[in-house]
Structure 1
Amino acid sequence: MFVRRIIICFCLVAAAQIHAQSTVSKEDKAQLKKIYDTALLEGNSYQWLDHLSNQIGARLSGSLNAQKAVEWGKAELEKLRLDKVWLQPVMVPKWTRGVTEFAYIETEPGKSTNVPICALGGSVPTPIGGLKAPLIEIKSLEALEKLGRKAIEGKIVFYNRPMQADLINTFEAYGGCVDQRYAGAAAAAKYGAVGVLVRSLTLRSDDLPHTGAMSYGDLKDSEKIPAAAISTNGADLLSSMLKLNPNIKFHINMNCRTWEDVESFNVIGEIKGSEFPDKYMVVGGHLDSWDLGDGSHDDGAGIVQSMEVLRLFKKIGYQPKHSIRVVMFMNEENGLRGGKKYAKIATQKNEDHVFALESDSGGFTPRGFSFDCTDATFNKVLSWKPLFEPYLIHYFVKGGSGADIGPLKKDTNVLAGLRPDSQRYFDYHHAKNDTFDAVNKRELELGAATMTSLVYLFDKYGIE
């Protein structure tokens, strides 16, 4: 009899728990549907991106357009009637490209073929009139040591290692060869090279060179050498011509310049939490962009999606338990000064950031998220997966989050990154074709709704 009562009690408790879970699930399903419906039927992210891309344009740190974007971002957040909107000062680097770069392959005096190049961000210029020298083609930085100074001195080092096409995760392919862009000049200069040419980091075959940040490490100013990216078609042509004639020369003319640091700003808006006002959740992207296109995918999309999270909460009447902030970080592309400054100020003010989400992988169809968190929290996240499956969101993995929110990481918080479909991202990344017309309205809005849904769930249920 006693055992029977125990079994009955157990069944009643289990039934109550199942009912409670079912009730929560229905509530959450309804809330996510409201979020997605509002984003798709009454969204504002695409209109915001249209203005940011087409009326302001490229927003390299320290530029006039970057300041215009700051002013625009603050004004748009104020229109949302948030509890607080402010600018956070941050000193950023200022680098300018100058007149359009020019390059050609010279097979013999008087016979040349023009190829598309662009200066890498932070590069020094060529001498007045340009630089012309023979080339040596290599696939890795390690090859420099094997060749030695005698083979390299006086030449332009041509790094021609492509992104690995058989890797489904294109960010993994990018990570596998970005060292030649970032550190290639510093490494080659130590062996006497007079310049470097880097194959553009894209899986696409085209005539568009892709820029990006590079570093000279500990080199003195007098030791720095010009660094340029060459389009993938140009790289393939150059490699073929070198095989036929190793004695060809390459001419580069660049007029870029590095200036003194200037003041810029992170743009921040906040909705105060109803239960935990001193616990903060951040959603954001970077407001700056490279100067070749207008930065629609990198990272205008992330900016407007992050703004949309707070707008959607206001629109559907959801009052968050935690304080929710949108942060438009400045200077992700060539310094990460904004992300570092935000984290520094948060530490100084002893602010408790329990969760942060970044969108900086383009405005393509959302597939899911990556999480930097404990196993316990990740298991909780996996229990939410069925809520996202009707929207074809299925990718939930432990991994990295985002560069700007990285400095906020602690053992006790959660960082997450939106993970859209990545197959087309590097077609546009840091190139002239990263423009508004490359962004699909529906894909952008789905990403904003997906981000809002995750913030809602973390706000409601917290972290483990």
Structure 2
Amino acid sequence: MKRKVIAILFLFIAVSFSAKAQTDAEMLAEIHKTALTKGKSYVWLEHLCNNIGSRLSGSLNAEKAVQYTYEQMRLLELDSVYLQEVPVPKWERGAPEEAYYKAGNKKVKVPICALGMSVATPKNGLTAQVVEVQSIEELEKRGAALKGKIVFFNRPMNPEFVETFRAYGACVDQRSSGAREAAKYGAVGVIVRSMTLHADDFPHTGQTGYGDLPENQRIPAAAISTNAADRLSLELKLNPNLEFFFKQSCKQYPDVLSANVVGEIRGTVYPDEIIVVGGHLDSWDLGTGAHDDGAGCVQSIEVLHLLKKIGYKPQRTIRAVMFMNEENGVRGGLAYEKYSNQRGENHIFALESDLGGFSPRGFSFVCDDANFEQIRSWQSLFEPYLIHRFVKGFSGVDIGPLKSEKIVKAGLQPDSQRYFDHHHAANDTFEHVHKRELVLGAAAMTSLIYLIDKYGIK
């Protein structure tokens, strides 16, 4: 009889506890409240930007960032924190670039920066006439007229596109492939209009590639600001024989060893089902990588911090990854997949934040219809936070290589209108990140991770 009474008592306690269990809406409310009042992402980002600075792959600052994020995750007392070795390219900009042209008797200086992975100009710089084009396709039409000239790619991002990443994608080929293609026609250099919709004097860098072009045929490539591009285009109409001078001393070195930084909370029910969230720790060298992608890194660590702070015990293993070398090689993402494949890991969900620390608007998903329908059923939970734009599309560069048998991939979608004002430029710095916007992005990511952990995938 005594045993029966004890059993009934335990059943009553269990039922009472279940009745008091938080609903999904209550859980999301707690996540957001905790993020807004006890989050650490803004402090972490300030240290990355102001105490460490730019974090180009292979640089001393990149290694400082590896050690800093490793230590911060250790302080969270996660179940596991470790490094994954990754060989990365090492490219240095060298001395500040110079550029100018003459308009009448006046020397007009031009804001310029070498494109990432570009070769240098001759030691004393390069001077040649300029040929303006709007596209790579136009090179073939110009043909022999490009020999010995500097090709000026001046196709702007299309202002008609509300989706700024659509505008970026429609013109970035002139930056990534312009030098390789122009060299085939005998051009001696390339300058490219910066990839931004903003009219400013900041040149925006970014990777250029030469493919299998022999080293002795590679030509220097640089970006100029949008204001400078507009002025140069006007001058060329007045003086088609205008000569342009630029000088850059960038250099490529042998690969060096770096690392991805990984921290995780072990799942209590399905520990072999892995949910990964991440951003890329490296940045270009002109600014301090605040939006691209320090924000995504600290938001990803914040996901683990918030789950621990509210006492949530995940069913599945939740892992935060600081990927190295997204900007000029994606070596970190490729290495992560390689290690995961070797260990036979099963990733069911991957979320990346790499579109800046602006106000979150929703998520973009790469998945089948069944999983998308399940995820869309959660939209109403996000509506109170104005984060309910759920669409199919792109997820993230670093999680792209993951090839688990059944996996859903997602990307945080912040408001994109200001992102390209800072992208790859000297003004991608900490003071341009709003604390509340950054924290709300981390809360949105944590909320989605919670729901995936609770319900799994189809």
Report the TM-score, using the length of structure 1 for normalisation: 0.94
Residue matched to 2:367:
373
**Would the aligned equivalents of 2:337 and 2:403 in 1 still touch at CA under 8 Å?**
no
1:326-337 → structure 2 map (5 Å cutoff): 326-337=320-331
Shift >6 Å, 4+ stretches? 23-26
Counting matched residue pairs gives 440
Give SS of 1:283's match: strand
Aligned-partner Cα distance in 1 for 2:227–2:399: 35
Aligned-partner Cα distance in 1 for 2:367–2:213: 38
1:116-169 CA distance string (max 9 Å, x none): 000000000000110000000000000011111x21000000000000001010
Residue matched to 1:432:
426
Do residues 48 (structure 1) and 65 (structure 2) align? no
Residue matched to 1:340:
334
**Would the aligned equivalents of 1:106 and 1:251 in 2 still touch at CA under 8 Å?**
no
1:184-223 → structure 2 map (5 Å cutoff): 184-223=178-217
Residue matched to 2:384:
390
Aligned-partner Cα distance in 2 for 1:188–1:217: 13
Residue matched to 2:56:
60
1:41-440 → structure 2 map (5 Å cutoff): 41-107=37-103, 111-148=106-143, 150-410=144-404, 412-440=406-434
**Would the aligned equivalents of 1:101 and 1:252 in 2 still touch at CA under 8 Å?**
yes
1:131 maps to a residue whose letter is L
Give SS of 2:70's match: helix
1:174-204 CA distance string (max 9 Å, x none): 0000000000000000000000000000000
Give 1:301 deviation, angstroms: 0.2
1:312 maps to a residue whose letter is L
Do residues 449 (structure 1) and 416 (structure 2) align? no
Residue matched to 2:15:
none
Aligned-partner Cα distance in 1 for 2:21–2:438: 26
Aligned-partner Cα distance in 2 for 1:119–1:381: 43
1:380-414 CA distance string (max 9 Å, x none): 01100000000011210011100000001445110
Runs of 5+ consecutive residues of structure 2 not aligned to the other structure: 1-18
Give 1:348 deviation, angstroms: 1.0
**Would the aligned equivalents of 2:55 and 2:62 in 1 still touch at CA under 8 Å?**
yes
Aligned-partner Cα distance in 2 for 1:25–1:87: 37
Give 1:328 deviation, angstroms: 0.1
2:331 maps to a residue whose letter is R
2:416 maps to a residue whose letter is S
1:62 maps to a residue whose letter is G
1:342 maps to a residue whose letter is Y
Task: Specify which of 6, 31, 35 is matched with residue 31 of structure 2.
Answer: 35
Aligned-partner Cα distance in 2 for 1:84–1:213: 34
Residue matched to 1:9:
none
Aligned-partner Cα distance in 2 for 1:421–1:189: 38
Residue matched to 1:463:
457
**Would the aligned equivalents of 1:298 and 1:362 in 2 still touch at CA under 8 Å?**
yes
Give SS of 2:334's match: helix
Residue matched to 1:14:
none
Residue matched to 2:9:
none
Aligned-partner Cα distance in 2 for 1:285–1:24: 36
**Would the aligned equivalents of 1:186 and 1:224 in 2 still touch at CA under 8 Å?**
yes
1:310 maps to a residue whose letter is L
Give SS of 1:459's match: helix
**Would the aligned equivalents of 1:409 and 1:415 in 2 still touch at CA under 8 Å?**
no
Aligned-partner Cα distance in 1 for 2:176–2:118: 11
Give 1:106 deviation, angstroms: 2.3
Question: Closer, same or farther in 2 for the Cα pair 1:25/1:418, shift >3 Å?
Answer: farther
Give 1:26 deviation, angstroms: 6.5
Give 1:111 deviation, angstroms: 3.8
**Would the aligned equivalents of 2:153 and 2:191 in 1 still touch at CA under 8 Å?**
yes
**Would the aligned equivalents of 2:323 and 2:333 in 1 still touch at CA under 8 Å?**
yes
Aligned-partner Cα distance in 2 for 1:370–1:338: 22
Give SS of 1:140's match: coil
1:272-317 CA distance string (max 9 Å, x none): 0000111111000000000000000000000000000000000000
**Would the aligned equivalents of 2:371 and 2:457 in 1 still touch at CA under 8 Å?**
yes
1:18-33 → structure 2 map (5 Å cutoff): 27-33=23-29
Aligned-partner Cα distance in 2 for 1:122–1:106: 28
Give SS of 2:275's match: strand
2:41 maps to a residue whose letter is S
